A = this chain, B = another copy of it.
Amino acid sequence: MHMSTNSETKSAAVGTDPTADRPLRADAQRNRERIIEAASEAFRELGLDASVAEIARRADVGSGTLFRNYPSKEDLIYAVIEARMQEWTHVAERALTEPDAAKAFEEFMLTAADAQYRDRGLFEAFKEGLLDEPELFDCKERAVCLSEEVLKRAQQAGAVRADVSADDLGNLTAAAAAAAERSGGGNSEGSPYARYMRILLDGLKP
């Protein structure tokens, strides 16, 4: 993301063709993204046991390249989680612009769960306690803080029971997403996933 912005800036400044097929540029950054994408996908399909070689294959890079970017498998996992956490943060930020506290909360939950529904890696990470690692403290802190605001607004508006915390929200959405995962029915209206989220949201009302 950083880098693609960079290259656009660069080529725009020079005035040459920004869309041509010059095969590589600062492809290193592109690789980082490809790797995270591939890892995300592999973790979703195979769990955190997905081998580094498999991830490298999916990202279409050598294992050495993967290592250069993420010196250990743990680092790669952290990077994936961090990416998901930032997604979560953005979702919470958007929710805070919605005036109706109850609606904001519901949309926040649905969107956040959606992200997890699409990436079971994160859920396993929850389970393994990986989110409590110091490496992830910062990005988690931000996500939790914003979630807390969304939650508190909804609680003060009487739309959500008082005995849940922002931490719970992560656990619960992750769980609902994981519960639905096996059914594989997408997240359309009548799908297990939609039903489970309905149950969860109803259960969260006072």
Nearest to A184 among chain B residues (CB) is B129
Contact (Cβ within 8 A) A199 B164: yes
A200 within 8 A of B: yes
Q: How many copies does the complex hold?
A: 4
| CB < 8 Å neighbour of A172 from B126, B161, B199 | B199
In this complex, how many residues of chain A approach chain B with their Cβ under 8 Å: the count is 35
Contact (Cβ within 8 A) A179 B183: no
Chain B residues near A127: list those with CB within 8 A: 47, 120, 178, 181-182
Query: How far is A201 from B201 in the complex, measured between Cα atoms in Å?
Result: 12
Query: How far is A154 from B168 in the complex, measured between Cα atoms in Å?
Result: 28
Query: How far is A161 from B47 in the complex, measured between Cα atoms in Å?
Result: 33
A204 within 8 A of B: yes
A203 within 8 A of B: yes
In the complex, per-residue mask of A112-140: 1 if CB is within 8 Å of any chain B CB, else 0:
00000000100000111100100000000
A70 within 8 A of B: no
Q: Which chain A residues have a beta carbon within 8 Å of chain B's beta carbons?
A: 47, 49, 120, 126-129, 132, 161, 163-164, 167-168, 171-172, 174-176, 178-183, 192, 195-196, 198-205
Identify the 9 closest CB pairs spanning chains A and B, nearest first: A203-B203, A175-B179, A175-B175, A199-B203, A171-B179, A202-B203, A129-B182, A172-B179, A200-B203
6 new A-B contacts at CB < 8 Å, known A168-B192, A172-B199: A47-B127, A163-B195, A172-B196, A174-B179, A175-B196, A203-B204
